Structure 1
Amino acid sequence: MNRYKRKEDCPLTFALTLIGSKWRLPIIWALWKNKTLRYNELKRHVDGITNMVLSQSLKEMENQGIVVRKQFLEIPPRVEYSLTEAGEALIPSLESLAKWGKAMQVKVKNHV
């Protein structure tokens, strides 16, 4: 029996909507690997992302509490991005999912 009347009420579905877009995982992974990145550094680490998509993704993840934006009052202005505590807490789950994905790649490759 389904515990949730609506799929939006399921915690797993909710979590996947937070990280499930094409660019969210590469952004999160780059920030985790590098701890703190400036905008252009982050753009270089996420191959193929446009400025508009990166800006929008960062704003959304900041509003959702996954990413923190720190602005320094300097000339020229400097902004750095890093993962919040909630973003960091996501990493062990992503590592487990990556391990599972790798095992499935091998299994599917060997099955063909």
Structure 2
Amino acid sequence: MLSTSELGARGEHIAAAYLTDAGLRVLDRNWRCREGELDIVAREGRALVFCEVKTRRGTGYGYPVEAVTRVKQRRLRVLAQRWLDAHDEHAPDLRFDVVGVLVRPSRPALVTHLRAAFS
């Protein structure tokens, strides 16, 4: 059985592959600053996309995408601004997506991608 950190890393790997297959270009993964961490930063056309990835083994505590609370959304907005301050990337549109990964035994992971999940 995967540890929690291994499960999270696996989910982020699955999410990055999913986003790449969907046409997004991943710019950064696991970017950290004092306030926290951004899981994935990507570009899709004219938009910079900040993706929060949530991975679960089951739905006993709800679906993975439901774990992004208003508090987490506020933190992600701050982290996005920190990332923008630290990088020479510009885009007319900023978007916050949530990618939920449900890891299922003996079956492919179930990926849910909520585009523009919050603003």
Report the TM range for the smaller structure's normalisation. Answer: under 0.3
More strand by share: 2
More helix by share: 1
Larger C-alpha radius of gyration, 1 or 2? 1
Question: TM-score when scaled to structure 1?
Answer: 0.28
